[in-house]
Amino acid sequence: MTSQTAALGSAIQAPVYLPFKVKAVCEYISPFNDTLQFPSEQIITVTQEEEGDWYIGEYMDTSGVKQKGFFPKKFV
């Protein structure tokens, strides 16, 4: 294996299969209706990855209502 081949191999990432679960590291609050707001430590099911730094996901809130929307990756 050449150093060029080794460098290419290290850049390859394993595929991510949807859906998958993440845990919020802090609370996320947004003024926009299409974003998913959540408390710290909330477990969220990611249903889609968006361009840039966003996921689309969902979770059941404490009253049993499903919450859905966009949220930034850096909060999980």
Domain with residue 55: its CATH number is 2.30.30.40
Residue-range definition of the domain harbouring residue 53:
20-72
In a domain, 48, yes or no: yes
In a domain, 4, yes or no: no
In a domain, 9, yes or no: no
Report yes or no: 76 and 55 within 8 Å, Cβ to Cβ. Answer: yes
Query: Which tens digits make up the pLDDT trace of 27-41?
Result: 999 999 999 999 999
DSSP 8-52: HHHH--PPPPSSEEEE-SS-B--S-TTB--B-TT-EEEEEEE-SS
In a domain, 58, yes or no: yes
Query: Which tens digits make up the pLDDT trace of 50-76?
Result: 988 999 999 999 999 999 999 999 999
- What are the two backbone dihedrals, phi and then psi, of residue 10, each rounded to the nearest 5 degrees? -75, -20
pLDDT over 90 (residue 24)? yes
What CA–CA distance (Å, rounded) separates 71 from 7?
Answer: 33
In a domain, 10, yes or no: no
Query: Which tens digits make up the pLDDT trace of 8-23?
Result: 555 666 677 899 999 9
In a domain, 7, yes or no: no
In a domain, 3, yes or no: no
Number of domains in the chain: 1
What CA–CA distance (Å, rounded) separates 40 from 24?
Answer: 5
